[in-house]
Amino acid sequence: MTLRVTLAAFAIFTGFASLSPAADPLPTEADYYKILKFKIPEGVVLEAGGLELMPDGKLAVCSRRGDIYMISDPFAENPAEESKFTLWAQGLHEVLGLAQRNGWLYCVQRCELTRMKDSDGDGRADLFETVSDGWEISGDYHEYAFGSRFDKNGHLWTVLCLTGSFTSNTKFRGWCLRFDENGKMIPTCSGIRSPGGIGMNYEGDVFFTDNQGPWNGTCSLKHLKPGSFQGHPIGNKWYDEPGVVAAMGPRPKDPKSGSRIMTEAAKIPQYMPPAILLPYNKMGKSASGITADRSGGKFGPFAGQTFVADQSHSTIMRCFLEKVNGRYQGACFMFRRGFSSGNLPIMLTKDGSMFVGGTNRGWGSTGRQPFALERMQWTGKLPFEVHEMRAKSDGFELTFTKPVDPQTAGDPASYKMGTYTYIFQSSYGSPEVDHTTPTIDRVVLGPDGKTVRLYLSKLQPGHIHELHMPGVRSKDALPLLHNVGYYTLNYIPKK
């Protein structure tokens, strides 16, 4: 008893509150964002590949096994008890994308784009139409085809994995294709390796996640600008197909193996460098689904930002995107861990719910369940996080979700930065290379109490700038919930 009193007194007088038995534990991710689990019926193998909210309020979920289920009451307070699964379609081929439009439910199968309808109202699809089969398959395990929702022009996009994730032995493997709702195919981008998901940011521009391998030193989030080359040259032979050059322009020059991303971007006009590099293992190993927050604040303080899932680590990352020199780049942060399986499709709805589908088939995952369907919601509590990380000509500008403590946030010792990049090469992946350690020479707090300017000794174009912020505290003495950010600095802004 005497020892306990002595320790408590020591904690009070020295300020080390963590030594006090009465100290409150620090908040966790679960305090701000809760995960609710759906109970998948016995006998249903729901290896979720796509999600779509239907006009009648049901949630459509497709499976890699070729089934589509409709889930009633997907927003129920207790979905494990209140939400019910009904089989709506079956016999499809590895469905990895759903989109509804004009009374039809469209799905991207491995072999084609299909639309379906329940024409007699009995709760089962009975009308199936091929919209397009403009690409080819050989039966290789890796020939994934991921589909988007319809964009603002009424086009549905798909990204096609390479054959074996290394070669392009069938037509348009390693390409992005667009389709109107009647099936007209538009070749859109080349240079894709192994996509894990496709989706749109808040502005409606289309992105996909590519995964580590040849010509990809790490996983990344890439902007699918029509006519662009995404970095992997093996599929560029399909420029010889009729109509491709008319839609895309001339075939790009092959990059030089062993170079660097931005070195080749300066040489190849069509090359679109990754908007955000996701450091391998630090931010996952298998980047997958993409969704944007259009909830207007119902999902917390990150309205307008983009979220990316990781299958291997069973996580969700948050991405802040900005345009510099007319091209996207930005920062990624960890957002939420603790999902039950390997996250694949994600969808954030306007009411502020993020639906997350999981499967660990083919690759292991931190979440040990073979498959899962979950819903994440904001609890209403405001986390202390970096809200935005913007590049400046001489450093970075950080904004925070809550007012900062001026003493800690204004101290250069509260921050540490290192930079690195990856080898742009035909070999598999890359280690981190070309490390530098810029100094943070000056920190200036903004008058709003939430903004901090970091002035650096030197910026490194083409590098990830990894910023650690262990010393920063909020005005109410909380540390950052996630105190590391990774900014992909492709271009240095003029201001």
Instruction: Give the range among 138-142, 298-302, 453-457, 469-473 with minimum mean pLDDT.
Output: 138-142
Specify the pairing of strand 98-101 against strand 85-89. unpaired
CA distance 356 to 351: 15
Whether the Cβ atoms of residue 213 and residue 165 lie closer than 8 Å to each other: yes
Q: Which helix (H) or strand (E) holds 10?
A: helix 2-14
Whether the Cβ atoms of residue 285 and residue 313 lie closer than 8 Å to each other: yes
Whether the Cβ atoms of residue 367 and residue 341 lie closer than 8 Å to each other: yes
Q: In terms of CATH, what superfamily is 33-378?
A: TolB, C-terminal domain (2.120.10.30)
Nearest-CA neighbor of 272 among 224, 332, 320? 224
Name residue, tokens 């010393």: 471
374-419 pLDDT, tens digit each: 999 999 999 999 999 999 999 999 999 999 999 999 999 999 999 9
Maximal CA-CA distance, the chain = 86
The residues near 153 (Cβ < 8 Å, ≥ 6 apart) are none
Indicate the average pLDDT of the chain.
94
How many residues are recorded in the chain?
495
Q: What is the 3-state secondary structure (H, E, C) of 102-146?
A: CCEEEEECCCCEEEEECCCCCCCCCEEEEEECCCCCCCCCCCCEE
CA distance 413 to 443: 10
* pLDDT grade for 13, boundaries at 50, 70 and 90: very low
Mean pLDDT confidence for 17-30: 70
Whether the Cβ atoms of residue 199 and residue 205 lie closer than 8 Å to each other: no
Secondary structure (3-state) at 12: helix
The residue type found at 125 is A
329-354 burial, b if ≥16 CB within 10 A, otherwise e?
A: bbbbbbbbbbbbbbbbbbbbbeebbb
Do the first three CATH levels of 33-378 and 386-489 match, i.e. the same topology? no
**Cβ count within 10 A of residue 471:** 18
For residue 267, pLDDT beyond 90: yes
Q: What is the CATH number of domain 386-489?
A: 2.60.40.1220
The residues near 439 (Cβ < 8 Å, ≥ 6 apart) are 456, 457
Report the predicted TM-score, pTM, of the whole model to 2 decimal places.
0.94
DSSP state string for 407-468: HHHT-GGG-EEEEEEE-B-SSB---EEEEE---EEEEEE-TTSSEEEEEES---TTEEEEEE
Q: What is the pLDDT of residue 3?
A: 35
Whether the Cβ atoms of residue 319 and residue 483 lie closer than 8 Å to each other: no
Secondary structure (3-state) at 238: helix
CA distance 372 to 379: 22
Q: What is the pLDDT of residue 70?
A: 98
Domain boundaries, the chain: 33-378, 386-489
* pLDDT grade for 22, boundaries at 50, 70 and 90: low
Mean pLDDT confidence for 122-127: 97
Q: What is the 3-state secondary structure (H, E, C) of 163-182?
A: ECCCECCCCCCCEEEEEECC
Q: What is the pLDDT of residue 92?
A: 97
The residue type found at 423 is I
